[in-house]
Amino acid sequence: MSVQEDMLRCAKAAQQASRVMATLSSKIKNELLVKMAEGLTNAQRELQQENAVDLQRAQENGLTEAMIDRLRLTPERITAMADGLREVAALPDPVGEVTGMWLRPNGIRVGRQRIPLGVIGIIYESRPNVTADAAGLCLKSGNAVILRGGSEALYSNRAIGKILQQSLEDMNLPSEALQVITTSDRQAVTELLKLEEQIDLIIPRGGEGLIRFVAENSRIPVIKHYKGVCHTYVDRGADLAMAEQICMNAKVQRPGVCNAMETLLVHRDIAADFLPRITQLMIAAGVELRGCERARALCPEMLPASEEDWFAEYLDLILAVRVVDSYEQARDHIQRYGSLHTEVIVTNDYRCSQQFLREINSSVVMVNASSRFSDGNQLGLGAEIGISTTKLHSFGPMGLEDLTTRKFVVLGEGQVRA
Amino acid sequence: MSVQEDMLRCAKAAQQASRVMATLSSKIKNELLVKMAEGLTNAQRELQQENAVDLQRAQENGLTEAMIDRLRLTPERITAMADGLREVAALPDPVGEVTGMWLRPNGIRVGRQRIPLGVIGIIYESRPNVTADAAGLCLKSGNAVILRGGSEALYSNRAIGKILQQSLEDMNLPSEALQVITTSDRQAVTELLKLEEQIDLIIPRGGEGLIRFVAENSRIPVIKHYKGVCHTYVDRGADLAMAEQICMNAKVQRPGVCNAMETLLVHRDIAADFLPRITQLMIAAGVELRGCERARALCPEMLPASEEDWFAEYLDLILAVRVVDSYEQARDHIQRYGSLHTEVIVTNDYRCSQQFLREINSSVVMVNASSRFSDGNQLGLGAEIGISTTKLHSFGPMGLEDLTTRKFVVLGEGQVRA
C-alpha cells in the first residue's frame, strides 16, 4: 500500500470513528480517559523500554543533550502524562451545550449547539508527552485524532498510542478514534494535509519551520502560532515597584517560552526613574539588554538595538528596550512589530488602561499582570491544546471548547417558508 | 506598478484602515451605513449609467438573459441595496461584547471580548448588490473590506464602491476601509490570496468553480460553501399532512437555492401511504422524480435513480427519492451523501427527533420545519454574509458575529507567575 493510500485509509477510518465519538456521553468519555491514565501507569516498564530505543538512536544520531532530555520518559513524566489525562477527564464537557435558543416570529425555535469538529490532525515535534496530552483533549471533546510526532520519538509515540488504543478497545469503542502515524516517511504528512474531505483541523506544534511547512502545504484549515513577540509597556502612570516585578517575572521566570517578554517599552516621563532600576535588576539576572538611543543615554550598559531587535523572539535572556514619547507611540510600535500574541500595560491611569484594552487587538491583552499568565491553564481554560495567533476560529490559548464548533438546531411544528 | 505591488499596497492600506475601524463606536458605524444608503439612493442615475455599460458589454459578449438580469440595477434594486444597509445599521453591534469574565485563584480577572477580524476579502461573481451588502456587514462589524467582483459587473461595482467610499471620506474615516478591485486582470485574485500577513479572512461567493479556485489557491483562511445537498427524512412517526407541506415547500418554493431539498428519504412503514401522495403533488408542481427501486415499485412514474443522484445538488425541479428501512439507514445515507448543509426530520416520535438532533452534525438540523429556513435572516441572525459548510470558525449561516473573533482580556493588580 502506498503512503498516499495508507493515509487516506487512516483518515477515512478516523472519520467513521469520529461519528461514534461524537455521540458518547461525558461519563463514557471520562471513563475512557481514566482508563488510559491507568494504562500508561501500568505500562511504565514497557514505555521506558521503547523510549530507550529512541534515546539510543538519538545518541547515535548526535542529538544535543537538551533534545535528548526532551525525549526522555522518566517515571515522573509518565505519571505526569497519566495525571494530565485524569485532569482532562475532570473538566466540563463542552459537547452538547446549547449556547443560546430563541423564538422566531413564525414559532420556530432556533438554537446553537456545540458539536465536535470531527477529525483533528496533530503534527508535532519530539516531546512524546504530546501524544497523550493531545489525544486526551481531542477525545474528551468528542473528536477522533490522528497524531504524527517527530521521527526521533517514533518508538515512544507508538508505545503510548498502543496503550491508549487498548483502552478504546477495552471499552468497545473504535480504536481508529486515536491513530499514531508510525511511518518515518515525511511524505505521510504531505499526504495527510491534502485530506480536506476527511480531516477537519490540523494543529501543528513545534518550531516555526514545522508550522510554516504545515501552513503552506495544507488544504485543511490550520490553527497556528508562529511566534510570541510579547511587549510590556510601562506607562507614566505606573507603580514602578509593580512594574519591576511584572517585568522581571515576564522576562526571567522562564525566558524560553512564547509568553515571555521580548520588548520593554517605557514612557519617557518615567524612563530616568525606571530604566536604571530595571537595568540593574535585569543585568543581575543575567539578561542582555539592547536599547534604543534614548534608553542607552540613561543606561550605557545596554547594547544598541537594531531594527531586527524589535521583531525578535529571543526565547532567551535578551531584552529589547525602547523609550516612547506617549501611549500612542507604544501602541504603534506594538502594531508594527508585534506578533498578536500577548501585550501588557503597566499603568495606574484608568483612561490609558481602557484605551490599551480597546486598541490593542492581540490575542491576549493585560493590565498590570505578567505576560507569563498567557497560557490555557493560567487563564482558566483547564488545559491547553495550543495557542493561535491567527484570528479565525480561535485566537489565543485554546482549550477544549476550541476543539468544537456549533450547529444550528431548529425545532418546528410544521412551519414552511412563505 | 505591477498587479502584485498594487494588491500589496491595497492590502496594507486596508490593514491600516482596519485599526481605525476597529475602535469606532456603534453610533459612528451606524451613521456611516445610513450615509452610504443615502449616497446610493441619491446616485441612482449615475449608478444606472455605469450599469448600462456593463449591460452593453454583457450583450456584446453574448451572456444569457438570466445572467444579464442578475447584472441589472433597476431603481427597485438600488432601493433594496440602500434598505439593506439601513437594516444592518439597525442590528446590534457584536464588537466589544465581553462574552464571559471569571476570577482566577490569584485574583486576576479573565474575560473574552469580541473584536473585528481585521481585513476581509470578498471574491464574488456578477451580482453587483453584493458590493453594498458585503461592505455593510464588514464595516458594521468593524472590519476593513476588499471587494473583488466579477469582471462583468466592473463598471457597476466601481460606481457603487466610489459612492460608499465617499461616505467614509465625508465622515473623516479612512476610505481604504472599503476598496473595490477594478482591474480585470485575474492575477489580482491570485495575488490577494497570498497576502496572509495583511488579510485575515477570504469569503468567496459564487459557483463551485470559483470557490474551489479560491480554496485551493489561498494562504489566507477561507470560509466556504461548496454545495447544499439537503435531505428531508420522513419518519414512520410523521404527520403525513405536515410532511407533505414541508416537502413541497422545501422542493418547489425556490428550487434554485442551496437550502432547497434535493433528496427525500421515506421510512418503509409509511412509504405505501406517503409516496403516492407526494408523488402526485410533486409531479403536479413540475418536479421530476428519481427513485430507488422500492420507491419505483410504489410509484412507477419515477425515473430510476443512479448513484450520482444521491450526491446531486440539482438546484432545479428534480428530486431523488429513497425508501429506507429505519432511522439508522436514513442517518447513514445522510452521512455518506450529504454536504453538511441542512437536514430535516419530519416525525412525531420524540426519541427519534432527539436522536436525529444528536447524531446528524450538519450545520443546520431541523425537526418538523422546511429546510428553506436555513438562511441567516430566517434563523434570526439579522443579515447573512454567507453560509459555511466547513466547521472551522463558523458552521452554517453566518451573520455579523461571524465576522468577529474574541481576544482575552486580563485585569490584574500586579500579579506575577510563581
**Please, where in chain A does CATH 3.40.309.10 lie?**
230-376
With beta carbons less than 8 A apart as the criterion, state whether A320 and A338 touch: no
Q: Give the residue-averaged pLDDT of A192-202.
A: 96
Q: Would an 8 Å CB–CB cutoff place A336 in contact with chain B?
A: no
CA distance A89 to B214: 40
Measured CA angle at B120 (ends B118, B125), to 5 deg: 170
Sheet holding A144-148, edge to edge: A178-180, A144-148, A119-124, A201-205
Cα end-to-end distance, chain A, whole Å: 54
Measured CA angle at A290 (ends A289, A293), to 5 deg: 125
A408 pLDDT band (50/70/90 cuts)?
A: very high
What pLDDT is recorded for position B16? 97
B208 pLDDT band (50/70/90 cuts)?
A: confident
- Residue among B335, B395, B405 whose CB faces A391 most closely: B405
Contact B23 A358 (CB under 8 A): yes
- CA torsion sign for B355, B360, B363, B364 is negative
Long-range contacts of A374-382 (CB under 8 A, 24+ apart): A374/A228, A374/A230, A374/A259, A374/A341, A374/A342, A374/B408, A374/B410, A375/A259, A378/B104, A378/B417, A379/B104, A379/B110, A379/B408, A379/B410, A380/B102, A380/B104, A380/B110, A382/A87, A382/A88, A382/A91, A382/A92
CA distance B3 to B101: 46
Q: Which three cell numbers stand for residue B199?
A: 488579510
- Per CB-CB distance under 8 Å, the chain B contacts of A215 are 219
DSSP B259: T
Query: Measured in whole angstroms, how far is the alpha carbon of residue B148 from the centre of its chain?
Result: 16
A267 pLDDT band (50/70/90 cuts)?
A: very high
How close, in Å, is residue A217 to chain B by CA atoms? 9
- Residue among B380, B405, B410 whose CB faces A110 most closely: B380
In the block, which residue shows the cell 535572556?
A: A317
Nearest Cα residue in chain A from B380: A104
| 3-state SS, residue B302 | coil
Looking at residue B393, its amino acid is H
Q: Would an 8 Å CB–CB cutoff place A117 in contact with chain B?
A: yes
Q: Give the residue-averaged pLDDT of A49-65.
A: 95
- Residue among B239, B246, B412 whose CB faces A369 most closely: B412
Residue of higher predicted confidence among B156 and A185: B156
What pLDDT is recorded for position A156? 97
**Please, where in chain B does CATH 3.40.309.10 lie?**
230-375
CA distance A144 to A158: 17
How close, in Å, is residue A242 to chain B by CA atoms? 6
CA distance A255 to A258: 8
What pLDDT is recorded for position A319? 98
Long-range contacts of A303-312 (CB under 8 A, 24+ apart): A309/A263, A310/A263, A310/A336, A310/A337, A311/A229, A311/A337, A312/A229, A312/A262
Sheet holding B303-304, edge to edge: A98-103, A109-116, A404-415, B364-369, B342-346, B230-234, B261-267, B318-324, B288-291, B303-304
Q: Give the residue-averaged pLDDT of A48-64.
A: 95
CA distance A30 to A33: 5
CA distance B333 to B330: 5
- Residue among B110, B369, B392 whose CB faces A412 most closely: B369
- Per CB-CB distance under 8 Å, the chain B contacts of A406 are 395-396
Beta bridge partners of B415: A369
Q: Give the residue-averaged pLDDT of B277-304.
A: 98
Of the residues A99, A193, A341, A391, the best mutation for testing chain B's interface (the one with the most B CB atoms within 10 Å of its CB) is A391
What pLDDT is recorded for position A126? 72
Q: Would an 8 Å CB–CB cutoff place B219 in contact with chain A?
A: yes
Q: How many CB atoms lie within 10 A of CB B104?
A: 16
Q: Give the residue-averaged pLDDT of A227-240.
A: 96
Half-sphere exposure of A126 (CA within 13 A, CB side): 18
Nearest Cα residue in chain A from B248: A416
Q: How many CB atoms lie within 10 A of CB B129?
A: 17
- Per CB-CB distance under 8 Å, the chain B contacts of A200 are 390-392
Q: What percent of chain B has pLDDT over 70?
A: 100
Of chain B residues 392-411, which have a CB less than 8 A from chain A?
392-397, 405-411
Of chain A residues 150-209, which have a CB less than 8 A from chain B?
200-201
What pLDDT is recorded for position B383? 87
Q: Would an 8 Å CB–CB cutoff place A256 in contact with chain B?
A: no
Q: Which three cell numbers stand for residue B85?
A: 444597509
Fold (CATH) for B230-375: Aldehyde Dehydrogenase; Chain A, domain 2 (3.40.309)
- Per CB-CB distance under 8 Å, the chain A contacts of B357 are 113, 409
- Residue among B364, B407, B411 whose CB faces A362 most closely: B407
A3-223+397-409 belongs to which CATH class? alpha beta
CA dihedral B186, B188, B190, B194 (to 10 degrees): 180
Backbone dihedral angles phi then psi of residue A48, each to the nearest 5 degrees:
-70, -35
- Residue among B391, B406, B408 whose CB faces A200 most closely: B391
**What does B41-96 look like in DSSP terms, one character per residue?**
HHTHHHHHHHHHHHHHHHHHTT--HHHHHHH---HHHHHHHHHHHHHHHHSPP-TT
**Please, where in chain B does CATH 3.40.605.10 lie?**
3-192
- Residue among B394, B406, B411 whose CB faces A367 most closely: B411
Least confident of A294-308, B358-372, B382-396: B382-396
With beta carbons less than 8 A apart as the criterion, state whether B383 and B137 touch: yes
In the block, which residue shows the cell 490569584?
A: B106
Q: Would an 8 Å CB–CB cutoff place A115 in contact with chain B?
A: yes
Query: Measured in whole angstroms, how far is the alpha carbon of residue B246 from the centre of its chain?
Result: 23
State the burial class of residue A184 (Cβ atoms within 10 Å of its Cβ: 0-12, 13-18, 19+): exposed
CA distance A329 to A352: 13
pLDDT of A1 above 80: no
Q: Give the residue-averaged pLDDT of A357-377.
A: 97
3-state secondary structure chain A: CCHHHHHHHHHHHHHHHHHHHCCCCHHHHHHHHHHHHHHHHHCHHHHHHHHHHHHHHHHHCCCCHHHHHHHCCCHHHHHHHHHHHHHHHHCCCCCCCEEEEEECCCCCEEEEEEEECCEEEEEECCCCHHHHHHHHHHHHCCCEEEEECCHHHHHHHHHHHHHHHHHHHHCCCCHHHEEECCCCCCHHHHHHCCCCCCCCEEEEECCHHHHHHHHHHCCCCECCCCCCCEEEEECCCCCHHHHHHHHHHHHHCCCCCCCCEEEEEEEHHHHHHHHHHHHHHHHHCCCEEEECHHHHHHCCCCEECCHHHHHCCCCCCEEEEEEECCHHHHHHHHHHHCCCCEEEEECCCHHHHHHHHHHCCCCEEEEEECHHHCCHHHHCCCCCCEEECCCCCCCEEECHHHHEEEEEEEEEEEECCC
pLDDT of A127 above 90: no
State the burial class of residue B124 (Cβ atoms within 10 Å of its Cβ: 0-12, 13-18, 19+): buried
What pLDDT is recorded for position A186? 86
B184 pLDDT band (50/70/90 cuts)?
A: confident
CB neighbours of B89 closer than 8 A, spacing ≥ 6? B29, B30, B33, B34, B37, B136, B140
In the block, which residue shows the cell 550605557?
A: A300
Of chain B residues 33-72, which have a CB less than 8 A from chain A?
none
A230-376 belongs to which CATH class? alpha beta
Q: Would an 8 Å CB–CB cutoff place B335 in contact with chain A?
A: yes
Nearest alpha carbon to residue B28 among B220, B171, B205, B197: B171
DSSP H stretches of helix in B253-410: 268-284, 293-298, 307-311, 327-337, 350-359, 376-379
B3-192 belongs to which CATH class? alpha beta
CA distance A150 to A213: 14
- Per CB-CB distance under 8 Å, the chain B contacts of A415 are 368-370, 373
Count of CB pairs separated by less than 8 Å, A with B: 207
How close, in Å, is residue A414 to chain B by CA atoms? 5
ipTM of the prediction:
0.94
Would the pTM of this model clear 0.80, i.e. be above it? Answer: yes
Q: Would an 8 Å CB–CB cutoff place B101 in contact with chain A?
A: no
CA distance B180 to B147: 5
With beta carbons less than 8 A apart as the criterion, state whether B270 and B241 touch: no
pLDDT tens for A335-358 read: 999 999 999 999 999 999 999 999
pLDDT tens for B298-326 read: 999 999 999 999 999 999 999 999 999 99
Residue of higher predicted confidence among B206 and A252: A252
Nearest alpha carbon to residue B287 among B259, B323, B324, B249: B249
Q: How many CB atoms lie within 10 A of CB B53?
A: 14
Contact A417 B253 (CB under 8 A): yes
Contact B365 A407 (CB under 8 A): yes
Contact B365 A102 (CB under 8 A): no
What pLDDT is recorded for position B302? 98
What pLDDT is recorded for position B35? 98
DSSP B221: -
Run of H or E including B267: strand B261-267
pLDDT tens for B2-58 read: 999 999 999 999 999 999 999 999 999 999 999 999 999 999 999 999 999 999 999
B66 pLDDT band (50/70/90 cuts)?
A: confident
Sheet holding A303-304, edge to edge: A303-304, A288-291, A318-324, A261-267, A230-234, A342-346, A364-369, B404-415, B109-116, B98-103
Q: Would an 8 Å CB–CB cutoff place B23 in contact with chain A?
A: yes
Of chain A residues 348-387, which have a CB less than 8 A from chain B?
357-359, 361-370, 372-374, 378-380
Q: Give the residue-averaged pLDDT of B113-126.
A: 95
pLDDT of B331 above 90: yes
